[in-house]
Amino acid sequence: MASYKQSLRAAEKQLQNAECGEQAAFMLLLELAQMEAHNLYMEFDQEIPDALNKQFQEGIARLAENEPLAHILGYEWFYGYRFLVNEDVLIPRPETEELVANILSAYDDYFKMNGNIIAADIGTGSGAIAISLKKEEPSLHVLATDISKKAVDVAARNAELNEVSISFCIGDMLEPLIDRDLKVDILISNPPYIPQEEILEASVKDHEPHVALFGGDDGLKYYRIMFEKAKQVLKPRSMMAFEMGWNQREALLNEVKRYFPDACAEVLKDMNGKDRMLFVYFGIQPNS
């Protein structure tokens, strides 16, 4: 017999040396109990139901082995929506919510008035970016591609669960769009951008798909592949939006200059003040 509080305190001790930190115990308990923090505090001295406690202990043991919380739960929250995740897709990150927010704001500023706007998300993974955009802007036509069939299966399931219609294609980078001769207004990607030799936490390295993480020696391999063919899939008046690594600003802007000497480019910071997003505009003068 244990109270919520006793069970939680014991779990926090077990996680003292885990990568996730002690606070993951509280997050796991909230999700498993389907409670908000204030409800849990109200119940703190009540007895925790056996079935819940058992599930909680099992989850804590997995967290202690550095398994990601999202894999234990089977889902992650992103932009207020729930996305199923497994080892075939990257777990959506909070930084990427900011990419979505900035795309929506650019859409309002430069595209909304024209109507019939097409956005494509390259390497969609769980579908988090594509599906959140469609939820927030139902009039947007959204395409999403991934080289992994297993990832597209997860993304398609997420589109169904979140009740949106997205066109999915399986294929390498821009190829599915080129093959179908599709031209889009907004090209989006959170490509794999971690340099090949970078050392990652075990929770990431051992549990998330490397195909979604590593971007060659300098991390920029997939941007170059997309830049190379971007003009084949973009309308003359269009925008590209990418997530990027915090230390890639200069190198990436150099690539943009090399491939698109006349485009307007800007790098935006995330909530931690780190360079995180690259926006490139064609035929648009951003007023930032």
User: To the nearest whole angstrom, how small is the minimum distance from the Cβ of residue 194 to ligand GLN?
Assistant: 5
Binding residue for ligand GLN (CB under 6 A) from 194, 225, 256, 280? 194
- DSSP string covering 89-120: SPPP-HHHHHHHHHHHHHHHHHTGGG---EEE
Binding residue for ligand GLN (CB under 6 A) from 56, 75, 78, 193? 193
The reply on whether position 203 binds ligand GLN by CB under 6 A is no
The reply on whether position 93 binds ligand GLN by CB under 6 A is yes
Question: CB neighbours of 80 closer than 8 A, spacing ≥ 6?
Answer: none
CA distance 162 to 159: 5
**30 token code pair:** 């909230």
The reply on whether position 92 binds ligand GLN by CB under 6 A is no
**Residue 29 near residue 53 (C-beta atoms within 8 A):** no
With respect to ligand GLN, which residue has the nearer C-beta, 176 or 191?
191
Nearest to 148 by CA among 158, 140, 138, 156: 156
Binding mask 117-146 for ligand GLN (x = CB under 6 A): ------------------------------
Binding residue for ligand GLN (CB under 6 A) from 63, 130, 213, 278? 213
> Using alpha carbons only, what angle is made at residue 164 by residues 161 and 169, rounded to the nearest 5 degrees?
95
User: Looking at 33-41, 80-88, 112-120, 188-196, which segment touches ligand GLN (CB under 6 A)?
Assistant: 188-196
List residues near ligand GLN by CB under 6 A: 90, 93, 190-194, 204, 213, 243
